[in-house]
Amino acid sequence: MSTKNDCIKRARKLECAPCPFCGGLPEIRTLAHSGYTVVCSVCGSRTKVAFFQGAKEKALKRVVQKWNMRTPLKAGKSINWEKIFKCFVEAINKVNAE
Ligand SMILES: [Zn+2]
């Protein structure tokens, strides 16, 4: 089992960018020996799982790429919580309507 610290170190080694939402340190977690996901250690936002599919190194690269492709916050720009909250409420309403 890798500890939280190991996951953060691994993310740093592979040059994962800081969390685009809160600037927190990312962790690369291994899921049930089947795939990788990058998770923010502060706000918990995460990428989809990149499954090994027989090629662990490729999956690792893929998941880092996914994480780094997220739009970073521009310098000096603060998080628009109102907008995030609105999206969140819309998503919940959508689920409830189904
Ligand atoms: Zn975050």
From first to last of its 98 residues, the chain has per-residue pLDDT tens of 678 899 999 999 999 999 988 889 999 999 988 999 999 999 999 999 999 988 999 999 999 999 998 766 556 666 667 777 777 788 888 888 87
DSSP state of 71: P
Cα–ligand 1 centroid distance for 18 (angstroms): 8
Tokens matching residue 98: 């189904």
Query: Which positions ≥6 away from 24 have C-beta within 8 Å?
Result: 18, 40, 41, 42, 43
Q: Residue 94 C-alpha to ligand 1 middle, in angstroms?
A: 24
- Residue 41: alpha-carbon gap to chain centroid: 9
- What order do you get walking across the sheet with 35-40 strand by strand? 26-31, 35-40, 50-51
Distance (angstroms) between ligand 1 centre and the Cα of 42 equals: 5
Tell the residue number behind the tokens 């998770």, with chain if given.
39
